[in-house]
Amino acid sequence: MTTFDALFYPMGSARAEPVQVSASGSYVTIAASSWSRRESLADIRTTSRLARTRRVLTLHDGSQLHTDNNDAVDGLIPRQRTEQLIDTLERHPHAIAASLVFTIAATVLFFTLGLPWLANRIAQEIPLAAERVLGEQVLMALDETAFAPSAVPESVQTRIRERTAELTSSSDSGRAYEVQFRALGDANAFAIPGGTILITDELIATLDDDDALIAVIAHEVGHHEGRHVLRSVLQSSAILVLTAFLTADVNAAAAVVLAVPTFFLNGHYSQAFELEADAMAFAHLADHGVSPEWFAYALTRIKGETTDGGIFHYASTHPRASERIAAALAAAKDFPPLEDIVAARDTGTGNVQLADTMLLGCWRGSIAEDPDNSIDWWIRFHDDAQLEVEFTAHNGGDVRPTYYTGRWQVHGATLATRYLRRQDEAADIDIDELQRYTIDHIDDTQMRYFGVPGNTEFHSYRIDCLSGDDGAIDESLNLDRGQAEFAQ
Amino acid sequence: MSDAAANSSREIPFLFGGRSQEYFSIWIVNLALTILTLGIFSAWAKVRRERYFYGNTSIDGAPFQYTAPPLVVLRGRLIAAALLVVYVVLGEFNPIAQVALIATLFVATPWIVVNGWRFRARYSAFNSLCFQFDGQLRNAWGPYFWLLLLVVPTLGLIFPYVRYRQRRFMVTGHRYGDIPFHFGAHIGDFAFIYIVASVVMLLGFGGATIIVMGVSVTSGAPATYADIYLLATMVLLYLAMFLGWTYISVSVTNLVFNTSRLGEHALLSRLRVKDIAWIYLSNTVAIIATVGLLIPWAQIRLARYRAERMTLLASGDLSAFSGRSSGGQSATGAEAADLFDVDLSL
C-alpha cells in the first residue's frame, strides 16, 4: 500500500493542510488531523513528472494535493505512456547524450543539406512571374539609391546583348535574359530576380575583353539558372523563423545571439551559390567555345575580388578568389592559354598578331636605344564612332608640345593594322600618313590592343567622350591598369 | 504555510532551486523531441520549461505553478508562427504589404497585450490559487495605442509617461485570488529614470565620439585604419546603448515591484544594473562561444539572480487568500508576444 505526505488545498483557498494519502485498490484515502475523505483514483488528475518539481493532484471538486514524493504519486496513478517516456528520457544519461548528439547532428545536417535542398525544391515551384515582381522592386530601389544611368555607347550595349543571347540560346531552361547597364562606381555585375543581368559601366571599363565580360555574364546567368535569389531569400527567411523559435526564450541580449549564427549561415549559403554559379558558368562558356579562363582573368581584374579576406573569410558572401580562379583554370584545361586565344582570334580576322598589336610597343621600338624618349598617346572616341588620337612625345622627362592631333574615322581593326605595318619602320613613322586612314568604328577590341595581358609596360589610358563637334569633353574615364599580372 | 497568522511583517526571500545540469537534460531532450516532431512538440517543451522555472521558484517553501495546457500553447504557437512566416515572406516580396501587416499588428497591440497577460496570469498559480488579469481591452487602448502614436510627435518626451501608464495598467489589472494588486509608483519616478538614462547615454555617445576622434587625429592614423575607428565607435555606442537600456529595464522593474502592493503584502526587488549587465553580457558571450549549449546555464543563472534579489514583505498570513483555483483563454496573445517581441519590457 502506497502512503505519502501531502498538502491539501481546498478548492479556492491558499491555505494548506498537511494530510496523509494512502491508496487501496482503486481508491485513495486522504487523512487530515480532523477529517478524512475517500476519492476514486479515476477522478484524480495529476501533473506530469518534471525533475524535482512538486506534483499537483487535482480532485474532482477542484481541491488540490501537493507533494514532492514523485515516486509515490507514480506508484499510485498509472502514468500516461508518452509522459512517462519524456520524463524517463529527461533523466536517463544515455538519452540525454543521444539527444545532444542528435540535436547537433540534425541542426548541422538541416542547415548544410536539408534547408538548401528544400529551398531549391520550393524555388523551382515558384513561377518566374512572381520572381519578376520581386526583381522590379529590387531594381527600382537600386535605381533610386545606388545606380546612375549608363554611359556605355548603344553600339557596345547591343553587342553585349547579342553575345549574351548567343550564350544563353541553348540553356536548359530556355529562359531569355535581359542585360541592363548602369553606372555604379564599382566594377560589378548583378543577377536581378526575374532574369535581368545588370552590369556596371565600370565593369565594362575594367574588363577589356568581351570574352571576359561574357564570362562574368555567364556567372550571373548561373545565378539565374540556379534560382539563387529565390533560394537565398527562402533560406534566410527560414533561418530567421527558426532562430526566432529556438531562441524565443533566450533573453540575454537576444539580438546578438540571433545575429551571429544568422550572419555566418547566410555567408555560407552565399558562398555555395557563388561556387554553383561559377560551375554553371564554366560549363556554359565551354559549350560556347569560350575559355573559362576568361572568368579567372575577370576576377583578377575586378578590384576587391582578389582579397581572400583572412579570418573574415567565413563571414564573407563570396568564396576565396584564389579557389575560384583555380576552379576556372581547371575547367579551362582543354582550352589554350588566353594569349594564344587572343592571338589566334586576331589572326583569324586577317588583321594583326597579338604581339604586334601593341601600339606603344611599336613606338617604343623606336626609342629603345634611348630610354628617356617615349611617346604618349591618347585615344578619344565618341558615340558617332569618331576617334581622336593624340600623341605626345616625352624627351628626358620634358613634355614637348603635342605634335599631332587629328580626328579619324575608325575602321575595324585597320588602325592597329596600320601600326603593325609600321612596326619595322616605327622609328620614322610618318604621322601625317596616318591621317589618310579612315576607320568607321572602334570598340573595346581595338582599345584592348593597348592593354592586352602580357603587356607589362602600358599602364593607363583615358577615354574621353566628346559631345558634338565642338570637342568639349563630356566625360572622362581614366583606367589605371597597374601591372598586368595575369600573364604570369 | 505558517498557520500561525503572525501579524508582524516578515521578510521572506524568494528561492530558486533550479540546477543547470538538471535543466540542461530537460532542455536538450525536449529540443531533440521538438526537432523529431518538426516543431510540434515545442508547445510541450515550452510548458515543461515554464513549469521547471515556476516550480523551482518558491516563497516560504511553496513553489509557483505553471498550468497552461500544451494544446492551447500549440494553437497559439501555430498562429504566431504563421504570422511570422507571412511577415518574413512579405518582407522579401511585397514590402508594402509587410508595412500593412506591421500596422495591423500595431493596431492589435492592445489586444495582444491584454490576452497575453490574461493567458499568463490564468495559468500561473501559487499555493493552488491562480493569478488573474482582468484589465479591460478598452483601457489598454490608451497606453498601448493612442499614447504610442504621440511618441514620435513629442520626440519621445512623452515616453516615460507612456511607460508609466503601461505599467499602471499592467499592475492594477492583476489579481492574486480575489485581491487586486495596487500600483504605487508615480510619473515622476519614471521621468527620473529616463532622464538619468538619457544623460548617461548622451555622455556615453559624446565620450565615445570624442575618444575615437581624438585617437584618430592625434595618431595621424592612415586612412586604412578608418574601419577600425569606425568599429571602435560602433562598439562604444552599442555599449552605451546597452548600459542605458539595462539601467532603464532594471530601474523600472525595481520601481514597479517596490511600489506595488498585494493587500498588506509588499515586494522588495533589489536588482542591480551592474549585475544584470554583467549577466547579460557574459551569457551572450557564453551562448555564442558554445553555439547555444550554454543556453540552459544562462537561463538558470539569470533566474537564480532574479530570485535572489527578490523578497516578499509579508504582513500577516500568506495563506489567507482565496479565489479561483488554478484550472481556457486564447494562448495566441502570449505566443505572439513571445515571438514578435511585443513584450513590453523594452
Give the model's pLDDT for residue B142: 94
Average pLDDT over residues B11-25: 95
Lowest-pLDDT choice from A66-70, A144-148, B192-196:
A144-148
Decide if A97 touches B, using CB distance below 8 A: no
Q: Specify the pLDDT at position A264.
A: 82
Q: What is the Cα gyration radius of chain B?
A: 22
- Among A376, A378, A449, A382, smallest CA distance to A416 is for A449
Of A226, A345, A218, A223, nearest to A294 by C-alpha is: A218
Is residue A465's pLDDT more than 90? Answer: no
User: pLDDT for A153-195, tens place per residue?
Assistant: 787 888 889 888 888 876 666 678 889 998 887 788 888 888 8
The lowest-confidence range among A239-253, A331-345, B164-178, B191-205 is: A239-253
Confidence of residue A251 (pLDDT cuts 50, 70, 90): low
Q: How far is A200 from chain B (nearest CA, A)?
A: 24
B89 — pLDDT class (breaks 50, 70, 90): confident
Mutation pick from A7, A33, A48, A50 vs chain B, by most beta carbons of B within 10 Å, is: A50
Contact B269, B257 (CB under 8 A): yes
If one compares A381 and B211, the residue with the highest pLDDT of the two is B211
Q: Which residues in chain A have their CB less than 8 angstroms from residue B312's CB?
A: none
Determine contact, residues A456/A441, Cβ cutoff 8 Å.
no
DSSP secondary structure string for all residues of A418-432: HHHHHGGGGGG--HH
Look at residue B80 in the predicted model and tell me its pLDDT.
81
The C-alpha R_g of chain A, in whole angstroms, comes to 38
C-alpha cell at B76: 497559439
Residues in chain A closer than 8 A to B3 (CB atoms): 15
pLDDT at A300 over 90: no
**Measured distance CA(A29)–CA(A19) in Å, rounded:** 10
Please, are residues B294 and B12 in contact by the beta-carbon 8 Å criterion?
no
Q: Among residues A215, A165, A170, A166, which one has the least CA distance to residue A195?
A: A165
Residue B259 clears pLDDT 50, i.e. is over it: yes
Contact B48 A86 (CB under 8 A): yes
Query: Average pLDDT for residues A86-104, to the nearest whole number?
Result: 95
What's the DSSP call for residue B323? S
Q: Which of A51-65, B36-50, B64-78 has the lowest mean pLDDT?
A: B64-78
Alpha helices in A110-248 (DSSP H): 115-125, 128-145, 154-168, 201-206, 210-225, 228-246
* Nearest one of A235, A238, A240, A236 to B341, comparing CA atoms: A240
CA atoms within 13 A on the CB side of A428: 0
ipTM of the complex: 0.85
Q: Please give the average per-residue pLDDT across B2-13, as a whole number.
A: 67
Instruction: Chain A: give the shortest CA distance to residue B225, in Å.
Output: 16
Mean pLDDT (whole number) for B153-161: 93
Contacts of B25 in chain A (CB under 8 A): 90-91, 96
Give the pLDDT of residue A250. Answer: 54
The residue that leads in pLDDT, B75 or B255, is B255
The DSSP 8-state label assigned to residue A335 in this structure reads S
Count how many Cα atoms sit within 13 Å of the Cα of residue A207 in the half-sphere of its side chain: 27
Query: Inter-chain contact A252–B56, Cβ cutoff 8 Å?
Result: no
State the Cα angle at A443 between A437 and A449, rounded to 5°: 80
What is the pLDDT averaged over residues B224-242?
Answer: 75
**Average confidence (pLDDT) over A267-283:** 91
In the chain, the amino acid numbered B178 is D
Higher confidence at residue B224 or residue B260? B260
Q: What value does the mean pLDDT take over residues A255-283? A: 84
Residue A249 confidence (pLDDT): 56
Q: Under an 8 A CB cutoff, do B127 and A252 touch?
A: no
CA distance A211 to A443: 14
Which candidate in A11, A88, A99, A268 is best for mutational testing of the B interface (most B CBs within 10 A)? A99
Report the pLDDT value the prediction gives residue B336, as an integer from 0 to 100: 52
Given CB atoms, is A96 within the 8 Å cutoff of chain B? yes
Rounded mean pLDDT, A441-470: 35
Q: Encode pLDDT of A402-451 as tens digits.
A: 222 223 323 232 333 223 222 233 334 444 443 333 333 334 333 333 33
Q: Residue B329 — very low, low, confident or very high, per pLDDT cuts 50/70/90?
A: very low
A 249-268 → B contacts, CB under 8 A = 249-254, 256-257, 260-261
Q: Which three cell numbers stand for residue A337?
A: 592559354
Lowest mean pLDDT among A47-61, B14-28, B42-56, B197-211: B197-211
Answer yes or no: are the C-beta atoms of A237 and B92 closer than 8 Å.
yes
- Evaluate whether B16 touches B307 at the Cβ level (below 8 Å): yes
pLDDT in tens, B276-317: 999 999 998 898 888 889 999 999 999 999 999 999 999 888
Reference A191, options A162, A154, A226; nearest CA is: A226
- Backbone angle region of A304, left / alpha / beta, with phi > 0 → left and psi within -120 to 50 → alpha: left
Looking at residue B339, its pLDDT comes to 46
Q: How far is B258 from chain A (nearest CA, A)?
A: 23
> Taking the C-alpha atoms of B90, B93, B99 and B101 in order, what is their torsion angle to the nearest 10 degrees?
-20
Task: Quick: pLDDT tens for A185-220.
Answer: 778 888 888 889 998 888 887 776 788 889 999 999
B75 at the A interface (CB within 8 A)? no
Residue B3 backbone dihedrals phi, psi, to 5 degrees: -75, -30
Yes or no, beta carbons of A257 and B318 under 8 Å apart: no
Q: What is the mean pLDDT of residues A144-152?
A: 82
Whether B188 has a pLDDT exceeding 90, the answer reads yes
Cβ separation of B298 and A250 shorter than 8 Å? Answer: yes
Bigger pLDDT: A396 or B181?
A: B181
State the pLDDT at residue A174. Answer: 66
B253 part of contact set with chain A, CB < 8 Å: no
**pLDDT at A136 > cutoff 60:** yes
User: Which of A161-175, A457-471, B190-204 bottoms out in mean pLDDT, i.e. has the lowest?
Assistant: A457-471
pLDDT score of A106 more than 70: yes
**For residue A193, what is the nearest residue in chain B, using CA coordinates?**
B93
Grid cell listed for A202 = 565600370
pLDDT of amino acid A172:
63
Sequence length of chain A is 488
| Pairwise pLDDT comparison (A250 vs B176), residue with the higher score | B176
- Position with higher pLDDT, A287 vs A206: A287
Greatest mean pLDDT among A105-119, A169-183, A234-248, B87-101 = A105-119
Judge: A99–B31 Cβ closer than 8 Å, yes or no. Answer: yes
Q: Single out the residue of A348, A330, A370, A352 nearest to residue A414, CA to CA.
A: A352
Which residue from B minimizes the CA distance to A132? Answer: B93
Residue B177 contacts A where some CB pair is shorter than 8 Å: yes
**Cell numbers at residue A101, please?**
548528439
Of A56, A107, A248, the CB nearest to B338: A248
CA A104, chain centre distance (Å): 27
Residue A279 has pLDDT above 90, yes or no: yes
* pLDDT confidence band for A456 (50 / 70 / 90): very low
The verdict on B292 touching A (C-beta cutoff 8 Å) is yes
Specify the pLDDT at position B198.
92
**Assigned C-alpha cell, A381:** 572616341
The whole-angstrom separation of Cα B46 and Cα B35 is 14
Contacting A residues, span 50-79, partner chain B, CB-CB under 8 Å: 50-54, 56, 62-64, 66
Q: In this predicted structure, what is the pLDDT of residue B7? A: 53
Q: Does B127 touch chain A (CB under 8 A)?
A: yes
Instruction: Check CB contact under 8 Å for B319 and A246.
Output: no
**A244 chain-B contacts, CB cut-off 8 A:** 84, 339
Q: Over range A78-99, report the average pLDDT.
A: 90
Query: What per-residue confidence (pLDDT) applies to B200?
Result: 86
User: Is A91–B128 a contact, with Cβ atoms under 8 angstroms apart?
Assistant: no
Average confidence score pLDDT of chain A: 70
